[in-house]
Amino acid sequence: MYSIQSYKKEYLRQVETIAELQFGKGYISCDDWFDKDRIILVAVKDEKVLGFCIAVILEYKNLAHIELQSVLTDSPVGMIKSLAVQPGQIRKGVGAKLLEAILRLLVEKGVSQFYTEAWRDRKGTRIEKIVLKNNFTKLIEKEDYWYSDSLKRNYQCSVCGQPCRCNAVVYYRRE
């Protein structure tokens, strides 16, 4: 059985490998793993990282999507930035456990509203079932959301390469 723990730097190489396989090279930069504002949980079994979840607490006024201001209130917002599971470990419940654990942690920190941006490719939105089960609601879908970001930061999308042509689906949850 695995345990859900806080990220520590000894796991850097393993989380970077999962991020590269699941999101593409360069999408999560090395600095992201050392950013003090990030809340990172990992699922670990026998010192092997099975998956990770990254969240950040944002101020309402700094929300990336203006549409969120009509459904959220002027208090801290937990943004679920990335959720990824090692390819060999998918569909075993690890992703759902990581998301539930990070939501609990954010609630303990006094956060009561959340949002996430999910990739939609030809096969659909991989995270949709997990977020809907956790009481998120779909807000909007944005076409070619990472197009200019993928060029500016020079990363290869794991689904469509560069530039990224995936859409973003924005989900939110409010207590």
Ligand X SMILES: CC(C)(COP(=O)(O)OP(=O)(O)OC[C@H]1O[C@@H](n2cnc3c(N)ncnc32)[C@H](O)[C@@H]1OP(=O)(O)O)[C@@H](O)C(=O)NCCC(=O)NCCS
- Cα–Cα distance, 23 to 17 (Å, whole number): 10
110 contributes a contact to ligand X by CB under 6 A: no
130 contributes a contact to ligand X by CB under 6 A: yes
- Cα–Cα distance, 173 to 77 (Å, whole number): 10
Segment interacting with ligand X, rule: CB under 6 A, options 8-16, 58-66, 90-98, 137-145: 90-98
Alpha helices for the chain (secondary structure H): 12-23, 94-108, 128-133, 147-152
Segment interacting with ligand X, rule: CB under 6 A, options 2-10, 68-76, 119-127, 163-171: 119-127
48 contributes a contact to ligand X by CB under 6 A: no
84 contributes a contact to ligand X by CB under 6 A: yes
Strand partners, 8: none
Chain positions 1 to 30 lying near ligand X, rule: CB under 6 A, are 22
What DSSP designation does 161 have? B
Q: Which of 8, 45, 129, 153 binds ligand X (CB under 6 A)?
A: 129
Amino acid (1-letter code) at residue 137: T
Residue of 88, 77, 100 lying closest to 14 (CA atoms) = 88
Site residues (CB under 6 A) for ligand X?
22, 82-85, 90-96, 118-119, 126-127, 129-130
